[in-house]
Copies of this chain bind each other. A is one copy, B any other.
Amino acid sequence: MNIRIGILGYGNLGRGVECAIRQNPDMELAAVFTRRDPKSVDILTPDVPVCPISQVEEWKDKIDVMILCGGSATDLPKQTPMYAKLFNVVDSFDTHARIPEHFSNVDASAKEGGKLGIISVGWDPGMFSLNRMYANAILPDGNDYTFWGKGVSQGHSDAVRRIEGVKDARQYTIPIESALEAVRNGENPELTTREKHLRECFVVLEDGADAAKVEETIKTMPNYFADYDTTVHFISAEEMKANHSGIPHGGFVLRSGKTGWNGETNHLIEYSLKLESNPEFTASVIVAYARAAYRLSQEGQTGCRTVFDIAPAYLSLLSGEELRKTML
């Protein structure tokens, strides 16, 4: 029997999960749950019900893993602990500073419900975290570097959109190539915020807005832009739609480390992602971990896990024997 997946929250991430399920022959989409009017939600998979979130409890025995696709700011801190009592769950909680607290809430709930929860799954946190951890375990003496981009930052785009006179905006985070090269060359640079990333904004103005004032407001915005070299381009709504409607992202995790009796030997470990769609890739990672959640639960395991706690083989459709034969 296939692993029956539920999706709770149907935005870009929920749709990405729906697409990813289709690529995994051992899984099927059982139902989508939404806070909106279910009639207003068009999903892609034929013959799958879209249900109001109030009915979720009725699906307790008809869903093997519930994937929570809400936001980290307000949805997941409540939803993941709440639903971990009823379902095996996977979320993509990405507020790094609040992960310990979230872990402990989900752990308590999942244990109470006899369920298995995996939190903070995606690429950062997620695959980037894994690569930081493996690289640190292998090279204890070294330096870590993470660069993000080139990609759209939702938070920074929103910050620009809130400025008076701005109709629409898209912000790209761009790693600075010379800084990346210095790391790759083993120079172990100490990099300031400004030396690691550029910020590039594409802005559609409201009629009659003051472009110079908008640009000044962006470039001096504390936390978001003031510490970076920022460029601002004013474009038309048509150009925005034509050239900036995707949600690409990616980045680089590097560890530069030393081995040898006196640390005389240098090594570089680099992991990078180039993603045309941030939510679709995140969804693909989540779906692989949904397989792990199901299997761990089948073994009788309960409580909260992160990517650090899960043996890689649990993610794969292949058996241990097949993995050893084809991938080792």
Cα distance A270–B274 in the bound complex, in angstroms: 9
Chain A contact residues, majority secondary structure: helix
> B271 contacts A271, CB within 8 Å?
yes
Interface size on A, residues (CB 8 A): 69
Residues of A260-300 at the interface with B, using a CB-CB cut-off of 8 Å, are 260-261, 265-277, 280-281, 283-285, 288, 291
Contact B288 A138 (CB under 8 A): yes
Most chain B CB atoms below 10 A, which of A99, A130, A137, A269: A137
Which B residue sits closest to A120, measured CB to CB? Answer: B328
The copy count of this chain in the complex is 2
**Interface 9-residue window, one of A15-23, A148-156, A233-241:** A15-23
| A276 with B280, Cβ < 8 A, contacts A16-B259, A140-B23, A311-B308 known | no
Binds B, one of A31-39, A62-70, A315-323: A315-323
The answer on a CB contact under 8 Å between B321 and A100 is yes
Q: How far is the CA of A269 from the CA of B131 in the complex (A)?
A: 12
Taking a contact as CB atoms under 8 Å apart, the answer to whether A269 and B280 are in contact is no
Whether B306 and A324, one on each chain, are in contact in the complex, defined by CB atoms closer than 8 angstroms, is: yes
Across the interface, do B280 and A274 meet the contact criterion of CB distance under 8 Å? no
